[in-house]
Amino acid sequence: MGKENIVLEKSYKFAISIIKIYKHLLKDNKEYVLSKQLLRCGTSIGANISEANGAISKADFSNKISIAYKECLEVKYWLSLLKDTFYIDKDTYKDIFSKVDEIGRLLFSILKSTRISNH
């Protein structure tokens, strides 16, 4: 199994976690704005990795992986904001942050190897 498949699997499981947090934020906290941002970027990671796996060129692949990586960075931003405004507790934050951080590191590694092999 290649790194792309591992990161796709992890990003899919991560998206499920994000959806659960989103549902919790809506139901229990009536928080609609920040949670929607988190949902959008948290589920976009896997979608972009899926698109990368169907890329028509190395440049297309690299571009989609780059977008997925940037979405990881955005997730970290929204998670920090939700934690610091007390919408999510520190344990939830640490758990989900560590997952997106791992996905981000995998994506960065893929990006580095893709861009090195293009030169």
User: pTM of the entire structure?
Assistant: 0.90
Quote the domain boundaries for residue 15. 3-117
30-39 CB contacts, 8 Å cutoff, 24+ apart: 31/82, 31/87, 34/78, 34/81, 34/82, 34/85, 34/87, 35/82, 35/87, 37/74, 37/78, 38/75, 38/78, 38/79, 38/82
Q: What is the pLDDT of the chain when averaged over all its residues?
A: 93
Q: What are phi and psi of 54, to 5 degrees?
A: -105, 20
Amino acid at 17: S
Which CATH number fits the domain that encloses residue 44? 1.20.1440.60
Domain count across the chain:
1
Q: For 26-64, what is each residue's pLDDT tens digit?
A: 999 898 899 999 999 999 999 999 999 999 999 999 999
Residue 2 pLDDT grade (very low, low, confident, very high; cuts 50, 70, 90)? low
The pLDDT value given to residue 3: 58
Residue 92 pLDDT grade (very low, low, confident, very high; cuts 50, 70, 90)? very high
